[in-house]
Structure formats: C-alpha cells, structure tokens
A and B are shown apart, each in its own frame.
Chain A
Amino acid sequence: MAAIEVQGLRKSYGATEVLRGIDFEVQANEVFGFLGPNGAGKTTTIEILEGYRERSSGEVSVLGADPGRPTRAWRERIGLVLQQCELNPLLTVAETLALFSSFYPSPRPVDETLDLVGLGDRRDSRVAALSGGQRRRLDVAVALVGDPQLLFLDEPTTGFDPSARRGAWNMIERLKELGKTIFLTTHYMDEAQQLSDRVAIIRDGEIVALGPPSELAAAGEAETVVSFRLPNGTPIAALRANVDAPIRTTGGLVSLRATNPQHTLYQLTSWAEREGIQLVGLQANRPGLEDVFLELTGDGHHG
C-alpha cells in the first residue's frame, strides 16, 4: 500500500487558488523529493499532509488515514522536521529528546537516536550552545525519537556547510535502510538528485514533472553543456566560425550549449586538432535535475 496518496488536491485562500488539483503517490520505504520555487505551493502541500492545514477539496491519505482529522495514533506514526521551528534553548540535548520521547508509546532510546544523528558527544550541551547544523540534526532526532514509519523533512539541510550536508545525506540514506518512508523538500537540486528515488516538481500549484531524477533529466529539453578553456590569444571568432552551437564566455571559461552534443564535440575537437589548439579542462555535462528544474520553473514560465 502506498504511504501517501494524493488525488485532485486543491487549496484556496479566499479567491487565491494555491493548489490547483495535484496528484501523486509515495510508496512505502521511498524517498520522495518534493521540489518547487518559493510560493509554488510546496509548504501548503506538506502542511496538509502533516495535518496542519485543511484542504479545500481532493482525496488525501497518509498512512491510510485522512490527515485532515489527525488522531493521536496517527501522529505516533509520523515524524516532522518543520521549517523555522525552534527548540527550548534552555534544555540540554538529552533532556529535549527525553521530553519528546515521553509523548510516544514505544520510543527509540535517547542515546541511540543521538548517535544516529551524530550528536552523541553533545548530549549534555544546552540547545542554545549548538551550531545551526547541530540544531537541525537535533530537529531530525526529535522527529525520529518516536520511531515513526513516515518522516517529513522540510528543507532539512538549509544553512548547512558542505560537510554537514554530506553528513545529513548519509543520515537520510541510513533512515531509508531502516525502512522509513521519507517525504523531502529541498532547495538543493544536487541533494534531491542524490537522495530521492522519485521527485515531483510543483509550479504555480500544479505538478509539472514527476519521476526518478535521472529520467527527468534525460527527458528534459535542456542542452548538454560543453565547457573548456582556450589558450591565451585564441580568437573566439575562429571558434564561432567552426562551431554552430551558441557560445558563452565567462572569464576564461568557454561554454557551448549543445542540443546535439555528438555533433558539437566533433566540430569542436576537429577544429582544435586541425589548428593544434589545446582545449584545457574539456568536459561535457549532461543536463542534471537543476537544469530541468530551472527550465520548468524559470522566469519564462511566470506571469
């Protein structure tokens, strides 16, 4: 059975329709990435699924129950990492988890949960003394301490430095190994691509793409980017005369946007070989999730 089922979900605030009929399913033990620009309806959707908001119409089932009427037994089975929700700064890390674990019938042990998020060595620190990344990990620990089946992670790594994000990714992968279902929103496309089994992209209250990140990227219209550096003094005009893909230069870096990468690379490399030019750092990058996301949600689509 699917962990989350959404059919024809609509939500209006007054005359403004924020969600205009969205459909998707999240399977058990799936990591589902939910992406979209600010104001697209991401937070409204996640808050309806979490039981914070009422929907205007549509069918929604989360772990087999209607989140519009949250019950205690249902809340015992889900864990939430919300945006901009602080914890009591005057309690210690271990006290915070002990408090939240008291709400659940069969919680995970506090110390084991702290080790899982990598906060075992900070158990007696006050929450106020934690760094931003450590607080976010404590948020995740609070969501996990009830041993939920389904986790909502709303921008869990915002504000992390690169190594903290890497650590969070490892943690999310471990949660999947533990059999959890994870509903993830993020602004980082590399994160969504790395972690998600499938992603949905929402724009203006409608889902505009849904599928595994690699399939979405391959199906997108975004061009392959061929980039390299030219030796000093090589005129761009000579390149332009031999390659028909659009050229952009930023600093010393040249990039070509190739709709047919095989043809463009052939034109480029045969010209370089002929002229004895060394193309420094030559690489061809297939479009990633980020390119697809920008293509689907970029400026051209607003208004």
Chain B
Amino acid sequence: MADLRLALTQARYALVTSFRNPRTVVFQMAFPVILLILFNSIFTQGADETVRFSGGRITAAAYFTAGLAAYAIALSTFTNLAIGLTMQRETGQLKRLRGTPMPSWTFVAGQLMRSSVLVLIMVVALLAIGVIAFGVDLPAEHLVGLLVYVALGTATFAALGMAVTVVTTTVDSASTIGPFAVVMLSFISGVFISVDNLPNWLETVGKVFPLYHLADGLQTCLASGVGGTGLDASNVGVLAVWGLIGVSIAVRRFHWEPQAAPA
C-alpha cells in the first residue's frame, strides 16, 4: 500500500508537469478540441448527414467526435510517453531515479496513471462538446463498450509509447515519430477523413494499425441501434494484439540510461 502511494505521488507530479508543458497543453489537449469544433462545423452540413462505417451509417458529427476521441487517446498515451520518456531518459532523469530506492514499477505506474487521467479529461471533454454542441447521441446500451474501448485503447497506445522509446534514441527523433505516426495514421483510420472517402487499398493499410480499430470501435459505440454492446471481435482483437506487442517489447527492451552516444 505504501508503494501504491509512491506511484500516486509520482503520478501527481507527472500531471503537474504535463499541465505546465505548453506542448502537452496545446498539441495534446487544445488541438483535438479545436479539430472537433472545426470538423463538425465544416464537414457536417446538417444533422442528417451520415457517414458509412463498419457497422452501417452514423451521423457525421458522431463519426468525427468518436474519431477525434481516438486521436486524443493516442496523443495522451503514445505521443506523450514516447516524447516524455525519451526526454527523461536522455537527460539522465531516469538514471537518477534508478539510483534511488524507488521501485521501478511505481514509476511506470505513475506514468500510466498520468496518461489515464489525461485520457479521461480528453474523452469527457470531447464527448461533452459532441453531445451539447453537435447533438451527438450517447446510446446507453453502448456505455460499457465505450468504457472498454477507452481502457483498451489507453493500455495499447501506452504500451506502444513505451515500446517506441527503444528506437527513439534522441529527443528529436521522439518528438518527430511520436506525433507523426498518430497524425499520418489519422488520415487513413477514419479520424480526419471518413473511411468512405478512402480507396480500398488505403483502408486496408489503415486496418493493419490500432488507431483504425479504436476509432471504429468508438464510432460503433456512438451509433444508435447497431453493434449490440458496441464491442466487435476484430476491433478488440487487433487492439489487444498491438498492446501485447508493445508490452513484450517494452518489458524486454526499455532502457533507463541515455542511449545517444555522449558528445
């Protein structure tokens, strides 16, 4: 129990750090909100406008609200951890922590708690804007499914964020790969553009990656009368496989000491 408090203390300071970091506040928090307002104002001509997705048809407003929730989850976990952990490793902060009696699992737990809190803030904010400003429905029968997708997406993208630090040996490479991967995938995963508008081969490429399945899962959960609980075996399965790949790489290859050759 005392060690759980250690993890909570670290989570608290990690959150304080995130809110003081302009890159986190602007790029990872404000940006998805601005995109949601822009997309739902530009791409949806009226409440009747619908978009095709895996489960059938859904209003465009619900489609982009769910897609941008997936986008925000990936930024708060994958991008945030890739940049944050690489920066802390390359500046020697992780090495210093390793020299204290703090158990390393409490550090990882603290980082995951920080990302989870950011995810909760973002998902609640985006859904609230969708419901209040753009008339998006939150079907009660899909609430459990929605929670499962948010939790699974958070875990999967957090694991991948830790795993990618194995190849980002400098802060510059992490600051490039972290956002770039999410932005690029957003074009072919039904986040920035509906998959309706993609050529088949591009949608097939998108389906390989987890962002497509997180977006599609959340979109199903915002569509009334389709998909039962909203949970779909292929969406859940692909997310889980990517999550396990991330965990197995992170557990085996995560480094605490600077990786770039000393100057």
Cβ-neighbour of A88 out of B6, B17, B99, B262 (below 8 A)? B17
- SS class of chain B's interface: helix, strand, loop or mixed? helix
Partner of A95, one of B5, B13, B92, B103: B13
Question: A82 near B6 (CB under 8 angstroms)?
Answer: no
* 0 or 1 for each of A137-175: is its CB under 8 Å from B? (1 = yes): 000001000100000000000000000000000000000
Could you tell me how many residues of chain A have their Cβ less than 8 Å away from some Cβ of chain B? 24
Given contacts A85-B92, A102-B6, are A95 and B16 in contact (CB under 8 A)? yes
Q: Is B41 on the interface with A (CB-CB < 8 A)? A: no
Assembly CA distance A87 to B135 (angstroms):
46
Contact of A90 among B9, B17, B96, B99 (CB under 8 A): B17
Pair A102/B9 contact, Cβ less than 8 Å: yes
Is the C-beta of B40 less than 8 angstroms from some C-beta in chain A? Answer: no
Q: Mark B16-31, 1 if CB is under 8 A from A, else 0.
A: 1100110000000000
Residues of chain B lying within 8 A (CB to CB) of residue A75: 99-101
The range of chain B's interface size is: 20 to 34
Distance from A161 Cβ to chain B, minimum over Cβ atoms (Å): 23
Shortest Cβ gap from B223 to chain A (Å): 41
* A228 at interface, CB cutoff 8 A: no
Question: When each residue 82-117 of chain B gets 1 if its CB lies under 8 Å from chain A and 0 otherwise, what string results?
Answer: 000000100111011011111100000000000000
Asked if residues A103 and B17 are in contact (CB atoms below 8 Å), the reply is no
B10 beta carbon closer than 8 Å to chain A: yes
Selected contact of A85 from candidates B5, B13, B96, B101, CB within 8 Å? B96
Q: Among residues 68 to 111 in chain A, which have CB atoms less than 8 Å away from a CB atom of chain B?
A: 72-73, 75-76, 80, 82, 84-88, 90-91, 95, 99-100, 102-104
Chain B neighbourhood of A100, CB < 8 A? 100
Across-interface contacts of B21 in A (CB, < 8 A): 90
Q: Is the CB of B95 within 8 A of A82?
A: yes
Question: What is the distance, in angstroms, from B87's C-beta to the closest C-beta of chain A?
Answer: 9
Interfacial chain B residues near A50, Cβ < 8 Å:
99
**CA gap between A103 and B98 in the complex, in Å:** 11
Docked complex Cα distance between A99 and B8 (Å): 11
Q: What residues of A have a CB within 8 angstroms of the CB of B99 in the complex?
A: 50-52, 75, 80, 82
How close is A184's CB to chain B, nearest CB, in angstroms?
Answer: 17
From residue B100, how far is it (CB to closest CB) to chain A in Å? 5
**Residues in B neighbouring A146, C-beta threshold 8 A:** 100-101
Q: Which A residue sits closest to B6, measured CB to CB?
A: A102
CA–CA, A100 and B93, complex, Å: 12
> Which residues of the partner chain A approach B257 to less than 8 Å between Cβ atoms?
52
Cα A102 to Cα B10 with chains together (Å): 9
Chain A residues with CB under 8 Å of B6's CB are 102-103
B93 touches A85 (CB 8 A): yes
Across the interface, do A86 and B92 meet the contact criterion of CB distance under 8 Å?
yes
A137 to chain B, nearest CB (A): 15
**Is there an interface contact between A90 and B92, defined as CB atoms closer than 8 Å?**
no
A90 x B101 contact (CB < 8 A) = no
Instruction: Kindly provide the distance from the CB of B114 to the nearest chain A CB, expressed in whole angstroms.
Output: 13
Q: Are B93 and A86 neighbours in the complex by a CB distance under 8 Å? A: yes
A82 to B91, CA, bound (A): 12
Nearest Cβ on chain A to B5's Cβ, whole angstroms: 8
A99 touches B10 (CB 8 A): yes
* Bound-state Cα–Cα, A82 to B92, Å: 9
With CB as the reference atom, state the residue of chain A lying closest to B92: A85
Give chain A residues whose Cβ lies under 8 Å from the Cβ of B20: 90
Contact B17 A76 (CB under 8 A): no
Return chain A residues, CB-CB under 8 Å to B92.
82, 84-86
Chain B contacts for A103, CB-based, 8 A: 6, 100-102
Q: Which residue of B lies closest to A77 (CB)?
A: B101
**Which of B41-98 touch A at CB < 8 Å?**
88, 91-93, 95-96, 98
Give A contacts to B, CB under 8 Å.
Answer: 50-52, 72-73, 75-76, 80, 82, 84-88, 90-91, 95, 99-100, 102-104, 142, 146
Report the 5 A-B pairs with minimum CB-CB distance, sorted nearest first: A85-B92, A75-B101, A86-B91, A103-B102, A90-B20
Name 13 A/B residue pairs within 8 A (Cβ), A-sorted. Answer: A50-B99, A52-B95, A75-B99, A75-B100, A82-B92, A85-B96, A86-B92, A87-B93, A88-B17, A100-B100, A103-B6, A103-B102, A104-B101
